[in-house]
Structure 1
Amino acid sequence: MTVKFSSSLSLANQFLIAMPSMDDGYFQRSVTYICEHDEQGAMGLVVNKQTDMSVKRLLKEIQIDLPETSPLEENMVLAGGPVQTDRGFVLHKGNRTWSSSLQLEEGIMVTTSKDILENLGKKSGPEDFLVTLGYAGWSAGQLEQEIANNSWLTVKADPEVIFNTPASERWETAVKMLGIDISQLTSFAGHA
């Protein structure tokens, strides 16, 4: 069975929650914020898989000067997905546009330009943000097919989960948003 995209069923600004049975090493227990979804495919950022690199260290490696008292040592870079893992994305709150920003939802943007990185941790930068390396991508119809095969659950994204919930708790928190007991889920998909 092939599942086709319907513009009325766009998953943009939704969480894509990995089913407990997903054993893919990269996406196991992942929460992905879907940035774009149309007839050509989908693009999202995994928001709960931390790397071992702090934002402060990343900025130093790309030669962005920070004040010594920068709070960015505690902010960890996330593994945003397996595609273009050398490319950075900043998912952030606010309406200020940077050189390369895309408005995703009212008050949520994704920016890929260096100017936002130069302002992280400063009053001129966003207060709430995540830095990811890489992204998750699906070709036309691929995400719809994976959902039909019972790989993912979806729910409207909540900025509180993205920006104010510890990364290690985002999967469980996103599942709770569905109002279901995750232990009762099965890996079998039913099709009528």
Structure 2
Amino acid sequence: MDSLQGHLLIAMPSLDESFFERSVIYICEHNDKGAMGVMINRPTNIVIDELLEQIGLAKKAQLSLSLEESVVLGGPVDTDRGFVLHTPQSIWVNSEPVSEFCMLTTSRDVLNALGTEESPKQFIVALGYAGWSKNQLEEELAENTWLTIEATPELVFNQDYDQLWTQATKQLGFDIWQISSQVGHS
């Protein structure tokens, strides 16, 4: 299978009543060792300003804009660890390009810059990530657990959390509720 890095995983309706119900996950890494992604549509009750204060990084005098956006729950793995998806900037300590329009940074320096003039233009702050071991994601795709589409900046950065799952499924050209989660064999 080709790498799904830079794509979105869209949860099938069969995942209702599970951790991943109606989730949209941005795949940051996918190779022969497994996959890693960040769920981008599950807001927490913590806003970025509060998170920065909690970890001792808030410098209110430097802030040029409010950081009232919610921190998202990126997945069930390492929920005490922060991840920042953001528009490209090559100045952060632990940054990896994911696509032409997005990078993933795990260092505190990007958090310290949020809300200042050095801040990335667009960003998502997530706690935790979703991970798959070798061949696990491929098996889940074969079982019709996920749909995939190529990610766009509009879908990753500019969507209402409550509407992202619906907006992403519309990109596929059909109503997701009309498809069956059952696999048929002939």
- Say yes or no: TM over 0.5: yes
Q: Distance in 1 between matches of 2:184 and 2:92?
A: 45
Q: Which residues of 2 match residues 21-170 of structure 1 at below 5 A?
A: 21-67=14-60, 70-72=65-67, 74-170=68-164
1:189 is displaced (CA, Å) by 1.8
* 1:191, distance to aligned residue in structure 2 (A): 5.0
Task: Note if contact 2:48-2:69 (Cα within 8 Å) is conserved in structure 1.
Answer: yes
Measure, in 2, the Cα distance between the counterparts of 1:176 and 1:105.
22
SS of the counterpart of 1:91? strand
Identity of aligned residues (%): 48
Q: One-letter code of the match for 1:110?
A: L
Native 8 Å contact 2:88 2:97 kept in 1: no
* CA drift at 1:183: 2.1
Compute the displacement of 1:24 (Å). Answer: 4.8
Q: 3-state DSSP class of the match of 1:89?
A: strand
Structure 1: tracts of 5 or more residues without a match? 1-5
Question: How far has the Cα of 1:104 moved from its partner?
Answer: 0.7
Letter in 2 for 1:42: A
Gaps in structure 2 of 5+ consecutive residues? none
Question: Offset of 1:66 from its aligned partner?
Answer: 2.8
In the alignment, the residues of structure 2 paired with residue 189 and residue 12 of structure 1 have an alpha-carbon distance, to the nearest angstrom, of: 26
1:97 is aligned with what amino acid? I
TM-score, scaled relative to structure 1: 0.91
CA distance in 2, matches of 1:165, 1:123: 23
Q: TM-score, normalised by structure 2?
A: 0.94
Q: Which amino acid aligns with 2:8?
A: F
**What's the CA shift string for 1:79-135, capped at 9, x where partnerless?**
000000000000001233300000111131000001000000111111200000000
Following TM superposition, by how much is the alpha carbon of 1:67 offset from its aligned partner in structure 2, in angstroms? 1.8
Contact kept in structure 2, 1:95 and 1:107, CA below 8 Å: no
